[in-house]
Amino acid sequence: MNKPASFANWKLFWKRWGVGLSVAGVIIAAIAYYYARSPQATEAVLASTLRQSVPLVLGALCGLLGERAAVINIGIEGQMLMAAFVGFLVNVYTGNLLLGVLAGIAVGALLGLLLAFMSVTLKIDQIIGGTVINILAIGLTGYFYKVGLSGHGKLNAIPLGPLAKIPLLGPVLFNNPPITYTAIILVFVVHYVLFYTPWGLRTRAVGEHPRAADTLGINVYLVRYVNVVVGGALAGLAGAYLSLEAVGSFERLMTNGRGFVALAVMIFGKWTPLGSWGAALLFGFASAIQTQLQFGGKVNIPPQFIGMLPYLLTIIVLAGFVGRARPPAADGIPYEKEG
């Protein structure tokens, strides 16, 4: 290749990746700076960032699977809460953590099925369908929860051999409990499915122009059902993370709005898995730094205000820093077959 051409390639490369690379550079520089000053605190904040991001990214994947197929799911919060509760109960009565996790996933998927039934088959307004699930979950978990139940342990970190011994990277990336690893893998799996497989192409077509998909022999209803149910399973996994991995027990309303923040994460991530992961890490960082600030004791701000940080970020993001993201064209619109 001659010189001007390669120069042009550079320009193109920079245009495409420049912003991303600059941001990455700043982040790496900042981490290096703080690591040099206080290795332990930096490790703690980063590890906490990753873990705080887990329910958010799983929730966002749930939301975007649905919305890519044109079903808006605002019941993520309820799906998480119910899954956290049932997963915890199963653990209490069987003493088996894996069974608890599977139960959580199953409950999430079942609520996904309920949402799909309401919004795809019955064609109920999707916001109302999601709200039904949220209220249902709050009501049922609140009614059946008994104070004093105690679970049998929680999912512990699994260090990945020598990888876990790398300074900084080891403790942050390679010494995590199983659902955290799974969430990271799922980000890439969903990305692959959505953009590189026939199923993904069909899902996106159903979200953009369902009638076109229908005329090509694609079963619009089936695609929506499967995506919403699989999404529900992911939200269920997020719930299991909260009760069985992060805390090890259940509290009333323990999801604390994460299902809604996950929707903000999804929008900030422009309905893409990788974008959502980035956004989830940002929100996770806001939560992590909040803990650090509260317990570091160096800053003199009332903890209530520090606790607002993630939610403030949500408002700021939704209020207009999203850029020109375009939701799927048919998002939220029930599909009516002709004839």
Partner 1 sequence: MSEIALEVRNIVKRFPGVLANDHVNFVLRKGEVHALLGENGAGKTTLMNIIYGLYRPDEGEIYVDGQKVTIDSPHDAIRLGIGMVHQHFMLVPVFTVAENLILGAEPTKGWSLDLKAAREAVRRLSAQYGLEVEPDAVVEDLPVGVQQRVEILKALYREAKILVLDEPTAVLTPQEVEELFVIMRQLTQRGVSIIFITHKLKEVLAIADHITVMRRGKVVGTTTPAETDEAGLAAMMVGRQVVLQVEKTPAKPGEVVLEVENLEVEDERGLPAVDGVSFEVREGEILGIAGVQGNGQTELVEAITGLRHIRNGHIRLGGQEAPERAPRYLIEHGMGHIPEDRQKHGLVLSYTIADNLVLCTYYQPPFARGLQRNQAAIVENAERLVNQFDVRTPSIFTTAGSLSGGNQQKVIVAREFSRPLKLLVANQPTRGLDVGSIEYIHKRIIQMRDQGVAVLLVSAELDEIMSLADRIAVMYRGKIVAVVEAGQVSKEELGLLMAGSGIEKARAG
At 175, which helix (H) or strand (E)?
strand 175-176
- The least distance separating partner 1 from the CB of residue 199, rounded to whole angstroms, comes to 9
- Cα 79-82-87 angle, rounded to 5 deg: 115
- Residue selected from 124, 140, 169, 209 as contacting partner 1 according to rule CB under 8 A: 209
Quick one: how many helices (H) and strands (E) in the chain? 14, 2
- As a whole number of angstroms, the distance between CA 177 and CA 49 comes to 14
Two tokens, residue 255: 């999801």
Q: Residue type for 101, please?
A: V
204 versus 258: smaller Cβ distance to partner 1: 204
Contact stretch for partner 1 (CB under 8 A) within 117-125, 162-170, 215-223, 238-246: 215-223
DSSP code of 164? G
Regarding 208 and contact with partner 1 (CB under 8 A), the answer is yes
312 versus 329: smaller Cβ distance to partner 1: 329
Contact stretch for partner 1 (CB under 8 A) within 80-88, 209-217, 275-283, 293-301: 209-217
Q: Residue type for 238, please?
A: A
By CB under 8 A, how many residues form the interface with partner 1? 22
- Residue selected from 5, 36, 147, 216 as contacting partner 1 according to rule CB under 8 A: 216
Two tokens, residue 35: 């690591």
Query: Site mask, partner 1, residues 35-74, x = CB under 8 A?
Result: ----------------------------------------
Regarding 218 and contact with partner 1 (CB under 8 A), the answer is yes
Calculate helix-pair angle for 39-68, 198-208, nearest 10 degrees.
Answer: 70
- As a whole number of angstroms, the distance between CA 132 and CA 245 comes to 27
* C-beta of residue 271 within 8 angstroms of C-beta of residue 64: yes
Sign of CA dihedral 83, 117, 273, 190: positive
Contact stretch for partner 1 (CB under 8 A) within 58-66, 118-126, 198-206, 308-316: 198-206
- Scanning residues 272 to 301, which ones bind partner 1 (CB under 8 A)? none
Q: Which of 229, 243, 257, 18 is nearest to 115 (CA)?
A: 229
Regarding 318 and contact with partner 1 (CB under 8 A), the answer is no
Regarding 270 and contact with partner 1 (CB under 8 A), the answer is no
Regarding 162 and contact with partner 1 (CB under 8 A), the answer is no
220 versus 228: smaller Cβ distance to partner 1: 220
27 versus 189: smaller Cβ distance to partner 1: 189
- As a whole number of angstroms, the distance between CA 53 and CA 278 comes to 9
- Residue selected from 19, 26, 28, 329 as contacting partner 1 according to rule CB under 8 A: 329
Regarding 12 and contact with partner 1 (CB under 8 A), the answer is no
- As a whole number of angstroms, the distance between CA 324 and CA 331 comes to 16
- Residue selected from 7, 197, 257, 315 as contacting partner 1 according to rule CB under 8 A: 197
Regarding 185 and contact with partner 1 (CB under 8 A), the answer is no
- Cα 36-42-43 angle, rounded to 5 deg: 115
- As a whole number of angstroms, the distance between CA 39 and CA 315 comes to 32
- Residue selected from 127, 140, 184, 201 as contacting partner 1 according to rule CB under 8 A: 201
* C-beta of residue 315 within 8 angstroms of C-beta of residue 263: no
Calculate helix-pair angle for 76-94, 220-240, nearest 10 degrees.
Answer: 50
- Residue selected from 7, 215, 295, 325 as contacting partner 1 according to rule CB under 8 A: 215
Regarding 140 and contact with partner 1 (CB under 8 A), the answer is no
Regarding 224 and contact with partner 1 (CB under 8 A), the answer is no
**Locus of tokens 């206080």:** 38
Contact stretch for partner 1 (CB under 8 A) within 151-159, 211-219, 220-228, 306-314: 211-219
What residues make contact with partner 1 under the rule CB under 8 A?
196-198, 200-202, 204-205, 208-209, 211-218, 326, 329, 338-339
